[in-house]
Structure 1
Amino acid sequence: MSNRIAYDKVAPAGLKNLFAMEGYLTQKTGLDNKLRELVKIRVSQINGCAFCLNMHTQDARKIGETEQRLNVLVAWRETSLFTATEEAALALAEKLTRIADNQISEVFYQEIRAFFDEKDFTDLVLLITQINTWNRISIVMANEVE
């Protein structure tokens, strides 16, 4: 399968804000680099986006993420390899990605907020929504894994 549309060429103005958000998420947040990649990978696993999985597992390895943690990320609740902060971020990522099935209760919100201040929590929500957007674009446009 090959890309259906060269969407970056057809609608560069539409993608401008997505790329600006990427810049913000990588340069203007206090979120740990490995945590960001773990969230992107977990969301991409849920959504079945091969293109994003390929990209973000490679990116994670480049910043020192271990093969062991990448291998068990899909079952992160079943291992002690992740920090409490990473687990909170992954739980939020799963809930937001499957939001129709998972309402965000006040109890859940407070549990997650215990790990993140207002800015980091907001940035985490932006990160999760951003990778969900990229997953959907990549899937419908049939982005090719190189």
Structure 2
Amino acid sequence: MNIDIPEGKDPIGYVWGEMVPGIGTAAAAMSLAVYQHTTLGLREFEAARLRIAQINGCLFCLDWRTERDGRKVEDDFPDAVTRWRTTDALDDRARLAAEYAERYALDHHGLDEEFWSRMAAHYSQVEIVELTMSIGAWLAFGRLNRVLGLDAMCVLPKI
């Protein structure tokens, strides 16, 4: 871990809540809002989230599976997300979500008109904004946890 945590303190609670409460508490609320208020389907949500987790290398995020109404994506879904270009396991929306997450994280200047035409054919403008905010949150907070070495200790509260 790259941050000193006092004995007996929860690393996530300490870093996110106690060290910078004016920022960390708001960041935690944003992170939870992505899960609590999403209107996106589970598969496209998880395709984007997992692709960012794969890029960030966040151990917790790679292991986490979002659950909705007692359902989670299948066990081999992360492998399909890794192979989003060639797999038949993703529908068009999930494939685009994985592609968007990857390009957002690695080549946001390369999001061209052809890409946006495909997005507009499969997502409403509201969904595009929601997906964009979600990807931004996962990129920032997953990377923060990975860089600081918190990802091996991260536990999200029940939502």
- Report the TM range for the smaller structure's normalisation: 0.7 to 0.9
Q: Report the counterpart of residue 108 of structure 1 in structure 2.
A: 115
SS for the counterpart of 2:28 is: helix
Q: Is the 8 A contact 1:44 1:131 kept in 2?
A: yes
- Aligned counterpart in structure 1 of residue 80 of structure 2, from 72, 77, 97: 72
Q: CA deviation at 1:3?
A: 5.8
SS for the counterpart of 1:67 is: coil
Higher relative contact order (CA 8 A, sep 6+): 1
SS for the counterpart of 1:53 is: helix
Unaligned 5+ runs, structure 1: none
Instruction: Tell me which amino acid in the other structure corresponds to 2:131.
Output: L
Cα distance between partner residues in 1 of 2:110 and 2:136: 15
Q: Is the 8 A contact 1:49 1:139 kept in 2?
A: yes
Cα distance between partner residues in 1 of 2:36 and 2:67: 16
How big is each residue's C-alpha offset from its partner over 1:37-77, in whole Å with a ceiling of 9 and x where there is no partner? 221111111122223212x2x43696321112223321122
SS for the counterpart of 1:140 is: helix
How big is each residue's C-alpha offset from its partner over 1:100-122, in whole Å with a ceiling of 9 and x where there is no partner? 6x511112111112111111100
Task: Using structure 2 for the length normalisation, give the TM-score.
Answer: 0.77
Q: Report the counterpart of residue 45 of structure 2 in structure 1.
A: 36
Cα distance between partner residues in 2 of 1:3 and 1:69: 31
Q: CA deviation at 1:124?
A: 0.3
Q: Is the 8 A contact 1:38 1:60 kept in 2?
A: no
CA-atom RMSD in angstroms? 2.2
The residue correspondences of 1:3-14 to structure 2 (distance < 5 A) are 4-5=3-4, 6-8=14-16, 9-14=18-23
Cα distance between partner residues in 2 of 1:117 and 1:50: 32
The percentage of counterpart residues that share the same residue type is 22
In our comparison, the structure showing a higher alpha carbon Rg is: 2
The residue correspondences of 1:89-108 to structure 2 (distance < 5 A) are 89-99=97-107, 102-108=109-115
Q: How many residues align?
A: 142
